[in-house]
A and B are shown apart, each in its own frame.
Chain A
């Protein structure tokens, strides 16, 4: 038994050692068994290495994307007029016009972010996540924030 262990410990289980052992009909069965046991032992030590590498890939991609994201930001547009009193109708018109300009500019934004590989896109979870199309909600402001 001790002899078997010595053989298995001293011979690399892959490549030449196994190839040579298999190619010779004179190779003792004890040596073949020892090689097999050593190979199994090494596989056992590694565990599910392929799955571990995949999990690491996913983790690294997720962290890299999270790190690359810029810090949260708010955008505010303020016009300050000191010393004059505007009629309510005029103020409403200005607010409406400002809103229109801001929305028109936002509508043109195209960061190309949909073309970037993300953890979800790599898993092919989304094309076309489309929902319904009925109106709802009210306009309340223009405060934008980035995810943390």
Chain B
């Protein structure tokens, strides 16, 4: 039973002190979720920012700001809405697949709005994609 007083959490937030580390982007471009809640401190933030942007390598969570976030569409999370609408055409949902373990599901904004189905899509979400490679490929293709 979720705690009604607990804040609703955004599952795609920034690398900032006090936020939760949700998971790591694996080599296949999917998220390896951490099963339990891990709060990041200033040391983690400093260390992570020494490399490429942390939001390209990890997923973080923090309380949903609703109207304070540019992705809020007035009634719900605009990101979750797009993922929910487009996922069926983009992803194969294996019927027997178990839900990924997740430390925030009970408080998650996306799960609260769309239920378990969005958890499968969520494993593919990278907060900020490094698009240098894609840009290079697109450039090379346009030059052929």
Contacts and interface: CB of A to CB of B under 8 A. Distances in A.
Contacts of B54: 107
Interface residues of A, number: 55
B51 interface: yes
Interface in A115-148: 115-123, 125-148
Contact of A111 (B21, B38, B57): B57
Interface stretch (A15-23, A28-36, A85-93, A98-106): A98-106
A129 B60 CA distance: 11
Contacts of B39: 135-139
B38 A141 contact: yes
A144 to B, nearest CB: 5
Interface in B7-28: 7, 9-14, 16-21, 23-28
What secondary structure prevails in chain A residues at the interface with B?
loop
A131 B38 CA distance: 18
Contacts of A146: 26, 30, 32-33
A1 to B, nearest CB: 44
B26 A111 contact: yes
A135 B19 contact: yes
B129 interface: yes
B47 A62 contact: no
Interface of B: 7, 9-14, 16-21, 23-41, 43-44, 47-48, 50-52, 54-58, 61-65, 68-71, 79, 82-83, 86, 89-92, 94, 97-98, 100-101, 103-104, 121, 123-134
